[in-house]
Structure 1
């Protein structure tokens, strides 16, 4: 496994072989001496970066996700690299509530338009044609506007829940959908089981026209990461040609993010496997010191699928 280092002189990033662990090397660009961390230093850094009460399911660098099909709710099983199930994730669809919201939309729309038609019919002889036209227009426009408000009010938010197993006995993490309607931006809040804020994710639909991006923030609102499609050329081809039976499947690169500068070092990748079923690999091996909270990383992985409606 390679060791990721960064030159303090010029900021260049390198991946070195394991044989350089604990040694000093010279940067080929600026000749600055780089101290390569040894395994003991990395293990100590990992211990400092991970919470003491972190569930064992999150104490790893690789997560395998498989979406369960033939189910009303969106469900995922998460495996370790040995194939053992370590987590169960569910995003309820709320089918009944959505049906009620749709019926509410139709009922209000029919009521408003029908009421305007009935009013025109009742006052047919007393009203001039111009007044009838105004009543009809107000009935239609008002019906549409009021119906949309009713639909939004009745529509449920679709939160995401992480459990230790499929019996849902222990909830380990929760992702809240902040807004019911997401026209231009989408934001999600990640919470621990006790309700403590862990971080947030945001995407802008305008930016996603050419290349999909997700932005991550910590609990204080500081930017921490950016997840981008692996290639601008491939992202344009995906929009023109579609997934091409999985040959142009969407993969993401996860990097450190500074809004005032270019994307930082690579933290990991989220790749869709070339299979008929929806299977994904979240690989964070590049983040050897685990500066990225694995709970936030896995939350991002799920959002890169369900949040993109893949």
Structure 2
């Protein structure tokens, strides 16, 4: 039995035991509410002819007065599974922070303002002198109350530079893949994590492709597409692609995934030159509901925000979710 199967069965067992406990409590409560029988007149034992006192027969317990654990109703596992299998609306933010040069607290506030469930951040420093020797990913995670993973792509002395993923859902594991590089290029990577949403594992990926060398950028995108092609779980991919939707860079990615901007509204420019170069893409089973671009007072990139519906798992039994669907707040775009 795999660890996942063990957790699935353990979750269902706990749910069934909870239902049984509730039934026991209700059964006892009903027993306490039953009408009490009229008192029976006491009888005095009568002596036998030999003078020996013969005890009178004692009363037997009435029906229903013993503590019996009720049997769970048939099909309880199927009922429990259906309760656990619910689609979940997830808000995802993609944001190139420009290393938070203008103030990391302001960047944290800009993230918090849109109340995301998952955050994909590019241009993140860790212990770099130029940005205050701060572990920026850890700072954001603490400020927002989220789990986080950092993917280092460039190391200089004690400092690192790369991307990060923050999540309100528990992060199950992570991998950081270094992408192809060449002369004149900067090392880039693909950070991936697994999170459990709606009773299934969803794979979340974040990347930042090469900005100056189109051929290298296209090779990196093909490499990313090759990694994603081997995934069996639903995928959400975000990142600064440094290319627009009509370029060869995006073609291998959009061949597998759906662009969230298909339901976008308002101005779409995200990059310094006003082009849409930051993307949120997802497996066809993960349906985008809304997408919008929000400016930033700090970064030279705008924030890209999208709501997705992650469908319920089709497998029973299933694990409990780490987080329930939340009622979405109205957004001011702050």
| TM-score, with structure 1 as normaliser | 0.32
Greater share of helix residues, 1 or 2? 1
Higher Rg: 2
| TM-score (norm. length: structure 2) | 0.31
